[in-house]
Protein backbone atom coordinates (compact mmCIF):
# COMPACT_ATOMS: atom_id res chain seq x y z
CA UNK A 1 0.00 0.00 0.00
CA UNK A 2 1.49 3.38 -0.91
CA UNK A 3 2.58 5.57 1.95
CA UNK A 4 0.04 8.26 1.26
CA UNK A 5 -3.04 6.10 1.64
CA UNK A 6 -2.03 4.99 5.14
CA UNK A 7 -1.01 8.45 6.16
CA UNK A 8 -4.07 10.31 4.97
CA UNK A 9 -7.08 8.10 5.50
CA UNK A 10 -8.59 9.64 8.61
CA UNK A 11 -11.79 11.43 7.70
CA UNK A 12 -11.54 13.95 10.49
CA UNK A 13 -12.41 17.54 9.71
CA UNK A 14 -10.16 20.05 11.40
CA UNK A 15 -12.29 22.93 12.62
CA UNK A 16 -10.35 26.18 12.49
CA UNK A 17 -13.37 28.41 12.14
CA UNK A 18 -13.06 31.69 13.93
CA UNK A 19 -15.12 32.22 17.08
CA UNK A 20 -18.08 34.60 16.95
CA UNK A 21 -16.10 37.29 18.78
CA UNK A 22 -14.00 37.59 15.63
CA UNK A 23 -17.11 37.90 13.47
CA UNK A 24 -18.55 40.47 15.85
CA UNK A 25 -15.36 42.53 15.67
CA UNK A 26 -15.33 42.39 11.86
CA UNK A 27 -18.98 43.33 11.60
CA UNK A 28 -18.56 46.15 14.13
CA UNK A 29 -15.61 47.58 12.20
CA UNK A 30 -17.30 47.14 8.83
CA UNK A 31 -20.58 48.73 9.83
CA UNK A 32 -18.95 51.73 11.49
CA UNK A 33 -16.88 52.69 8.42
CA UNK A 34 -18.07 55.66 6.30
CA UNK A 35 -18.76 53.18 3.48
CA UNK A 36 -20.32 50.30 5.39
CA UNK A 37 -18.73 47.04 4.35
CA UNK A 38 -19.01 43.34 5.20
CA UNK A 39 -16.64 40.55 4.13
CA UNK A 40 -17.97 38.33 1.30
CA UNK A 41 -17.11 35.16 3.26
CA UNK A 42 -20.37 35.77 5.16
CA UNK A 43 -22.39 34.84 2.08
CA UNK A 44 -21.47 31.22 2.52
CA UNK A 45 -23.56 29.38 5.03
CA UNK A 46 -25.16 26.22 3.64
CA UNK A 47 -27.92 28.19 1.91
CA UNK A 48 -25.43 30.73 0.56
CA UNK A 49 -23.29 27.97 -0.90
CA UNK A 50 -26.39 26.51 -2.55
CA UNK A 51 -27.31 29.92 -3.98
CA UNK A 52 -23.80 30.33 -5.33
CA UNK A 53 -24.07 26.91 -6.99
CA UNK A 54 -27.28 28.18 -8.60
CA UNK A 55 -25.46 31.31 -9.81
CA UNK A 56 -22.86 29.16 -11.55
CA UNK A 57 -25.61 27.66 -13.70
CA UNK A 58 -27.19 30.99 -14.75
CA UNK A 59 -27.02 31.90 -18.44
CA UNK A 60 -25.49 35.31 -17.59
CA UNK A 61 -22.79 33.87 -15.35
CA UNK A 62 -20.18 32.78 -17.91
CA UNK A 63 -17.27 32.32 -15.44
CA UNK A 64 -17.87 28.81 -14.15
CA UNK A 65 -18.63 27.12 -17.44
CA UNK A 66 -15.78 28.90 -19.21
CA UNK A 67 -13.33 27.88 -16.51
CA UNK A 68 -14.62 24.31 -16.66
CA UNK A 69 -14.06 24.15 -20.42
CA UNK A 70 -10.53 25.47 -19.92
CA UNK A 71 -9.82 22.88 -17.22
CA UNK A 72 -11.18 20.05 -19.36
CA UNK A 73 -8.99 21.12 -22.25
CA UNK A 74 -5.82 21.56 -20.24
CA UNK A 75 -5.72 19.27 -17.19
CA UNK A 76 -5.40 15.95 -19.06
CA UNK A 77 -2.09 17.28 -20.47
CA UNK A 78 -0.90 19.42 -17.54
CA UNK A 79 -1.32 16.84 -14.75
CA UNK A 80 0.86 14.13 -16.37
CA UNK A 81 3.37 16.80 -17.35
CA UNK A 82 3.67 17.95 -13.73
CA UNK A 83 3.23 14.49 -12.21
CA UNK A 84 0.85 15.99 -9.64
CA UNK A 85 0.36 13.79 -6.56
CA UNK A 86 -1.65 16.09 -4.33
CA UNK A 87 -4.22 18.80 -4.87
CA UNK A 88 -4.75 21.55 -2.33
CA UNK A 89 -7.79 23.56 -3.30
CA UNK A 90 -8.77 26.86 -1.71
CA UNK A 91 -12.47 27.71 -1.55
CA UNK A 92 -13.41 24.27 -2.78
CA UNK A 93 -17.19 24.57 -2.40
CA UNK A 94 -18.87 21.57 -3.98
CA UNK A 95 -15.62 20.61 -5.77
CA UNK A 96 -17.45 20.44 -9.09
CA UNK A 97 -14.37 21.44 -11.11
CA UNK A 98 -11.93 19.72 -8.78
CA UNK A 99 -13.22 16.51 -10.33
CA UNK A 100 -11.65 17.54 -13.63
CA UNK A 101 -8.25 17.72 -11.91
CA UNK A 102 -8.83 14.63 -9.75
CA UNK A 103 -9.88 12.61 -12.81
CA UNK A 104 -6.73 13.69 -14.63
CA UNK A 105 -4.69 12.56 -11.58
CA UNK A 106 -6.48 9.22 -11.58
CA UNK A 107 -5.92 8.69 -15.32
CA UNK A 108 -2.28 9.43 -14.75
CA UNK A 109 -2.18 6.81 -11.97
CA UNK A 110 -1.18 9.43 -9.40
CA UNK A 111 -4.41 9.52 -7.37
CA UNK A 112 -3.05 10.63 -4.01
CA UNK A 113 -4.27 13.34 -1.71
CA UNK A 114 -6.98 15.96 -2.00
CA UNK A 115 -7.11 18.79 0.54
CA UNK A 116 -10.18 20.95 0.01
CA UNK A 117 -10.13 24.14 2.09
CA UNK A 118 -13.40 25.96 2.61
CA UNK A 119 -15.20 28.19 5.09
CA UNK A 120 -18.47 26.20 4.92
CA UNK A 121 -18.06 23.11 7.11
CA UNK A 122 -21.36 21.49 6.15
CA UNK A 123 -20.72 21.82 2.41
CA UNK A 124 -17.16 20.61 2.80
CA UNK A 125 -18.11 17.49 4.76
CA UNK A 126 -20.74 16.58 2.19
CA UNK A 127 -18.27 17.08 -0.65
CA UNK A 128 -15.49 15.13 1.05
CA UNK A 129 -17.74 12.12 1.58
CA UNK A 130 -18.95 12.18 -2.02
CA UNK A 131 -15.40 12.34 -3.35
CA UNK A 132 -14.20 9.47 -1.16
CA UNK A 133 -16.97 7.42 -2.73
CA UNK A 134 -16.28 8.57 -6.30
CA UNK A 135 -12.50 8.21 -6.12
CA UNK A 136 -11.64 5.02 -4.23
CA UNK A 137 -8.01 5.24 -3.14
CA UNK A 138 -8.03 9.02 -2.99
CA UNK A 139 -7.24 10.38 0.48
CA UNK A 140 -9.45 13.39 1.24
CA UNK A 141 -8.38 15.65 4.11
CA UNK A 142 -10.72 18.65 4.26
CA UNK A 143 -9.72 21.75 6.17
CA UNK A 144 -12.42 24.09 7.43
CA UNK A 145 -10.65 27.42 7.36
CA UNK A 146 -11.09 31.05 6.57
CA UNK A 147 -8.59 31.72 3.79
CA UNK A 148 -8.76 35.46 4.49
CA UNK A 149 -7.01 34.67 7.80
CA UNK A 150 -3.90 32.67 8.63
CA UNK A 151 -4.49 28.99 8.08
CA UNK A 152 -2.06 26.12 8.04
CA UNK A 153 -1.27 24.00 5.02
CA UNK A 154 -0.05 20.47 5.83
CA UNK A 155 3.72 20.14 5.30
CA UNK A 156 3.77 16.43 4.54
CA UNK A 157 2.14 16.58 1.12
CA UNK A 158 2.88 14.00 -1.54
CA UNK A 159 4.83 16.01 -4.10
CA UNK A 160 4.63 17.53 -6.64
CA UNK A 161 1.62 19.35 -5.22
CA UNK A 162 -0.80 21.53 -7.13
CA UNK A 163 -2.23 24.48 -5.21
CA UNK A 164 -5.46 25.54 -6.90
CA UNK A 165 -7.46 28.70 -6.39
CA UNK A 166 -10.22 28.58 -8.97
CA UNK A 167 -13.42 30.40 -9.81
CA UNK A 168 -11.91 33.86 -9.95
CA UNK A 169 -12.16 34.14 -6.15
CA UNK A 170 -8.83 36.01 -6.02
CA UNK A 171 -10.97 38.88 -7.39
CA UNK A 172 -12.82 39.09 -4.07
CA UNK A 173 -9.62 40.26 -2.34
CA UNK A 174 -8.34 43.82 -2.22
CA UNK A 175 -4.85 43.75 -3.79
CA UNK A 176 -2.88 43.86 -0.49
CA UNK A 177 -4.93 40.94 0.86
CA UNK A 178 -4.55 39.07 -2.44
CA UNK A 179 -0.77 39.47 -2.21
CA UNK A 180 -0.77 38.24 1.42
CA UNK A 181 -2.72 35.14 0.42
CA UNK A 182 -0.49 34.39 -2.58
CA UNK A 183 2.61 34.91 -0.42
CA UNK A 184 1.31 32.41 2.12
CA UNK A 185 0.77 29.86 -0.65
CA UNK A 186 4.18 30.57 -2.10
CA UNK A 187 5.74 29.89 1.31
CA UNK A 188 4.07 26.45 1.35
CA UNK A 189 5.25 25.59 -2.17
CA UNK A 190 8.39 23.69 -3.03
CA UNK A 191 10.19 24.17 -6.35
CA UNK A 192 8.37 21.30 -8.08
CA UNK A 193 4.92 22.51 -6.96
CA UNK A 194 2.64 24.64 -9.07
CA UNK A 195 -0.05 27.18 -8.37
CA UNK A 196 -3.15 27.11 -10.60
CA UNK A 197 -5.52 30.07 -10.53
CA UNK A 198 -8.67 31.07 -12.39
CA UNK A 199 -9.23 34.76 -13.11
CA UNK A 200 -12.13 36.64 -14.61
CA UNK A 201 -10.91 38.95 -17.36
CA UNK A 202 -11.52 42.62 -18.13
CA UNK A 203 -14.04 42.85 -20.95
CA UNK A 204 -17.16 44.60 -22.14
CA UNK A 205 -18.75 46.18 -19.05
CA UNK A 206 -22.29 45.22 -20.04
CA UNK A 207 -21.29 41.58 -20.15
CA UNK A 208 -19.72 41.75 -16.68
CA UNK A 209 -22.59 43.68 -15.10
CA UNK A 210 -25.16 41.23 -16.49
CA UNK A 211 -23.35 38.39 -14.71
CA UNK A 212 -24.06 40.09 -11.36
CA UNK A 213 -27.61 41.23 -12.17
CA UNK A 214 -29.23 38.04 -13.41
CA UNK A 215 -32.82 38.12 -14.61
CA UNK A 216 -33.94 35.42 -12.15
CA UNK A 217 -32.79 37.38 -9.09
CA UNK A 218 -30.55 34.60 -7.79
CA UNK A 219 -27.63 36.98 -7.23
CA UNK A 220 -29.98 39.34 -5.35
CA UNK A 221 -31.04 36.45 -3.07
CA UNK A 222 -27.38 35.48 -2.63
CA UNK A 223 -26.51 39.06 -1.67
CA UNK A 224 -29.38 39.35 0.83
CA UNK A 225 -28.49 35.97 2.32
CA UNK A 226 -25.60 37.68 4.08
CA UNK A 227 -28.11 39.52 6.28
CA UNK A 228 -29.72 36.19 7.22
CA UNK A 229 -26.27 34.84 8.09
CA UNK A 230 -25.72 37.83 10.39
CA UNK A 231 -29.15 37.37 11.98
CA UNK A 232 -28.42 33.69 12.51
CA UNK A 233 -24.89 34.07 13.86
CA UNK A 234 -25.19 37.32 15.79
CA UNK A 235 -28.91 37.57 16.58
CA UNK A 236 -29.27 40.84 14.67
CA UNK A 237 -32.63 41.95 13.25
CA UNK A 238 -31.84 42.86 9.64
CA UNK A 239 -34.93 42.76 7.44
CA UNK A 240 -33.60 41.45 4.09
CA UNK A 241 -36.61 43.02 2.35
CA UNK A 242 -35.44 46.42 3.58
CA UNK A 243 -32.34 46.20 1.37
CA UNK A 244 -32.07 46.19 -2.42
CA UNK A 245 -29.43 44.35 -4.45
CA UNK A 246 -27.10 46.58 -6.46
CA UNK A 247 -24.10 45.50 -8.55
CA UNK A 248 -22.07 47.78 -10.83
CA UNK A 249 -18.67 47.94 -12.52
CA UNK A 250 -16.18 50.37 -11.01
CA UNK A 251 -13.82 51.06 -13.93
CA UNK A 252 -10.97 52.80 -12.07
CA UNK A 253 -10.18 49.69 -10.03
CA UNK A 254 -11.51 47.27 -12.68
CA UNK A 255 -13.98 45.64 -10.34
CA UNK A 256 -17.59 44.72 -9.77
CA UNK A 257 -18.97 46.03 -6.51
CA UNK A 258 -21.98 44.43 -4.88
CA UNK A 259 -23.98 46.46 -2.41
CA UNK A 260 -27.11 46.10 -0.28
CA UNK A 261 -28.93 49.43 -0.43
CA UNK A 262 -31.24 50.43 2.43
CA UNK A 263 -34.61 51.21 0.84
CA UNK A 264 -35.66 53.42 3.79
CA UNK A 265 -34.16 55.13 6.82
CA UNK A 266 -33.85 52.40 9.45
CA UNK A 267 -32.12 51.23 12.62
CA UNK A 268 -30.84 47.69 12.87
CA UNK A 269 -30.00 46.11 16.22
CA UNK A 270 -26.87 43.98 16.41
CA UNK A 271 -26.41 42.46 19.90
CA UNK A 272 -22.95 43.28 21.21
CA UNK A 273 -22.63 46.25 18.85
CA UNK A 274 -25.78 48.35 19.28
CA UNK A 275 -28.06 50.09 16.83
CA UNK A 276 -26.77 50.71 13.32
CA UNK A 277 -28.36 53.64 11.52
CA UNK A 278 -29.05 53.50 7.79
CA UNK A 279 -30.10 56.55 5.80
CA UNK A 280 -32.42 55.86 2.86
CA UNK A 281 -30.17 54.88 -0.07
CA UNK A 282 -27.17 54.15 2.17
CA UNK A 283 -25.43 50.91 1.30
CA UNK A 284 -23.31 48.10 2.67
CA UNK A 285 -20.62 46.95 0.24
CA UNK A 286 -20.74 43.15 0.46
CA UNK A 287 -18.27 42.16 -2.24
CA UNK A 288 -15.72 43.35 -4.74
CA UNK A 289 -14.85 41.16 -7.71
CA UNK A 290 -11.69 42.45 -9.40
CA UNK A 291 -11.21 41.72 -13.09
CA UNK A 292 -7.76 41.02 -14.45
CA UNK A 293 -5.51 40.79 -17.48
CA UNK A 294 -2.14 39.09 -17.81
CA UNK A 295 -0.26 42.19 -16.67
CA UNK A 296 -2.33 42.65 -13.50
CA UNK A 297 -1.87 38.96 -12.60
CA UNK A 298 1.88 39.21 -13.26
CA UNK A 299 1.95 42.16 -10.88
CA UNK A 300 0.15 40.25 -8.08
CA UNK A 301 2.35 37.19 -8.64
CA UNK A 302 5.53 39.29 -8.68
CA UNK A 303 4.63 40.95 -5.38
CA UNK A 304 4.13 37.48 -3.85
CA UNK A 305 7.39 35.97 -5.14
CA UNK A 306 5.74 33.98 -7.91
CA UNK A 307 6.01 34.19 -11.67
CA UNK A 308 3.56 33.21 -14.39
CA UNK A 309 4.49 29.94 -16.08
CA UNK A 310 1.50 29.67 -18.47
CA UNK A 311 -1.41 31.89 -19.31
CA UNK A 312 -4.47 30.26 -20.90
CA UNK A 313 -7.51 32.43 -21.75
CA UNK A 314 -10.52 31.05 -23.62
CA UNK A 315 -10.93 32.15 -27.28
CA UNK A 316 -13.47 34.83 -26.30
CA UNK A 317 -11.07 36.19 -23.63
CA UNK A 318 -13.71 35.93 -20.92
CA UNK A 319 -11.72 34.02 -18.34
CA UNK A 320 -8.20 32.65 -17.93
CA UNK A 321 -6.35 29.86 -16.17
CA UNK A 322 -2.85 30.74 -15.11
CA UNK A 323 -0.10 28.67 -13.54
CA UNK A 324 2.59 30.07 -11.30
CA UNK A 325 5.89 28.82 -9.91
CA UNK A 326 8.24 30.19 -7.27
CA UNK A 327 10.11 33.10 -8.87
C1 LIG B 1 -16.76 33.75 -5.62
C2 LIG B 1 -15.48 34.99 -7.16
C3 LIG B 1 -16.71 33.19 -7.91
O4 LIG B 1 -17.04 37.25 -7.60
O5 LIG B 1 -17.97 36.29 -9.29
C6 LIG B 1 -20.98 35.53 -7.86
C7 LIG B 1 -18.96 35.29 -6.29
N8 LIG B 1 -20.71 37.03 -6.39
N9 LIG B 1 -21.96 36.41 -8.01
C10 LIG B 1 -17.63 36.31 -8.12
C11 LIG B 1 -20.19 35.92 -6.84
C12 LIG B 1 -21.80 37.31 -7.08
C13 LIG B 1 -17.94 35.06 -7.31
N14 LIG B 1 -16.74 34.29 -6.96
Q: What dihedral angle (degrees, nearest 10) is formed by the CA atoms of 249, 252, 258, 261?
A: -100
pLDDT of res. 72: 98
pLDDT at position 94 is 66
Q: What is the spatial distance between Cα 110 and Cα 235, in angstroms, rounded to a whole number?
A: 47
Atom 1 of ligand 1: nearest residue by CA position? 169
Centre of ligand 1 from the C-alpha of residue 171, in Å: 8
Tell me what pLDDT residue 123 has: 76
Is the CB of residue 67 below 6 angstroms from any atom belonging to ligand 1?
no
Global pTM reads 0.92
3-class SS at 114?
A: strand
For helices 121-134 and 98-107, what crossing angle results, to 10°?
A: 30
Q: Is 160 in contact with 85 (CB distance < 8 Å)? A: yes
What pLDDT is stored for residue 152 in this prediction? Answer: 87
Which residues have C-beta within 8 Å of that of residue 308, sequence separation ≥ 6?
294, 297, 298, 301, 322, 323, 324
On the CB side of 151, CA atoms within 13 Å amount to 25
Q: What's the rounded Cα separation, in Å, for the pair 212 and 273?
A: 31
* Residue-level pLDDT at 49: 85
Q: From the first residue on, what is the mean pLDDT of each consecutive set of 10 residues in the chain (327 residues)?
A: 35 47 95 98 90 96 97 98 96 82 93 87 86 94 90 90 97 98 96 98 98 98 98 96 98 98 98 97 98 98 98 98 98
Query: Which amino acid residue places its CA nearest to atom 14 of ligand 1?
Result: 169
219 lines ligand 1 (CB under 6 A): yes
The alpha-helical segments, DSSP class H, found in 157-293 are: 175-188, 205-211, 218-234
Amino acid sequence: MPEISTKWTSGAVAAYRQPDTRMLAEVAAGLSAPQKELPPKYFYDHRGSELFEEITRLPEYYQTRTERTLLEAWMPALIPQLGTRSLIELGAGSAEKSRVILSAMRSNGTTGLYVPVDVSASFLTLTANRLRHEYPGLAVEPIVADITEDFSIPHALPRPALFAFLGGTIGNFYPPAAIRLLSRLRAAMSASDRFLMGVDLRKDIGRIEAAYNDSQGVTAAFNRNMLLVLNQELGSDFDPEGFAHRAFYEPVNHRIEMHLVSTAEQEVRVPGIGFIHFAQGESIRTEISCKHDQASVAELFGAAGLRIESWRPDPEMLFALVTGVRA
